[in-house]
Chains A and B, each alone.
Chain A
Amino acid sequence: MLEKENKFSEQIQKTFHSAKIEIKRSKRISVQLRSDLIPPFLSYAKELLDFKHLSHMSCVDWLEDNELELVFILMNYETSIQIIAKTRIERENAQFVSLKKFWPQLETYEREFHEMYGINFEGNDRLGEFILEDWNNKPPMLRDFDTRKYANETYYQRPGREDAQNVRETVSKHSGEEVPEFAKKYSIRNIDDE
């Protein structure tokens, strides 16, 4: 059933002993690596395992672990198997090495993550103002950046939103229908609370 996936995972395991490999389902292999192993692993997957296609790169903020997780999704054209390579890096003044020599389109991803998460990719010389013009606050995609607080003190909030804070309550108030129990705990707090 999963022989191709197993074959790939064995090859990877043989090469990178420290990799935690998990076959999520058919055609999905998740590989957890140390951050310094990512460049060799990507080149290995690209050249030897023939995962030529970089589907996606993304970043996840693990505020509780005080880490940032970088996710690379590679794909193999023959078997259409996708490898999800993950790694964790330090959250405070995060550093990583630029990988644009493997896939040039990574440069754009790195610029975006530099702007949105404050990760500094060495070797990428185009890190700078990308999408946010004259942004002088902490990177907005970090979870400890309070978006609503920033929006409230930066932008003018037109009054009259309050009744729309909890759509179900509003609907029930307007149309007399009573709110189901499970919906109560999803109620958003009001702007005026903070």
Chain B
Amino acid sequence: MDINWLKVLGLIITPIIAFFVGVTYGGLVRNITARIQNRFGPPVYQNFWDIIKLYSKKTSIHHGWMQHLGPVFAITASITSLYFIPVLRDSVLFSNLSFSGDLIFLIYMMVFGSLGMAMGIGQTGNPNSAIGVSRGLSMMVGYEIPFVLALVSIMIQFHTTSLNDLLAVQSKFTDWIIFQSPIAFITGILAFLGMMGYKPFDVPIAPAELASGPVSEFGGKYLALMQTSRSIFTFAKLVLFTDIFLGGAGDFGTLVVKTFLLYMIPVLTGIVNPRFRTEQAIRFFWKWPTALGIIAILIVVW
């Protein structure tokens, strides 16, 4: 078999780019939060120091081999779901494996990581972690519904479940799906708020009450790997939403602009909002976003 070395190169450098962009975004978020709170805030590259420091911790403990595997599951899910998303429009280098997967596969691939992570968290035996997992899974049931409604409405509107086809239909600026079906976009963004896990939907990791919840037993290299996969996963989700709604990007400049603007939506929402309780969050997702999603589908059908 002949190996397309360009693709292999893309497979290698895409996670690295995603890591750097994601970590930088994390630092930016901390800085912007600080500025809004009238602080100076940490430098933009702060999260790099954090991750390097965590990797250079000299000792680390685990409560069993399932906890050892948890971060591995997480990073596997992050990088794999990144591979199946076309990072740049029609570029051989960055459309990694996006031709052999589709949206429904992606929805499930994204769950893979959190499920494996939940296994690892479960073995720590920390009650706080278990409470956090129970809250997180319950909230996932909440925001998956509007997410799926939005995706289904778009799938039946354009008769495809493949991201590349969705990119193909949004060739012009006016063809962006955010303009073609704005209600689906609103629904998707509301679900996106829950996905990113910033306030008001950060009850699973509530640091004050749960001792940082699920990750409270993870330190050193395990926490470092989790932070890495979290950065990559953030980038993957942003690129996914950009591809679906904002017409993807032709070059990295556009990509960075679009993803950053998209990222600011949950971040700014989070900074100025208090925290929902779990059941409040679930009911929120089951009220307006679900109604909007149904409206979006109805609009498409008729």
Task: Determine direct contact between A and B, CB below 8 Å.
Answer: no
Residues of A within 8 A of B (CB): none
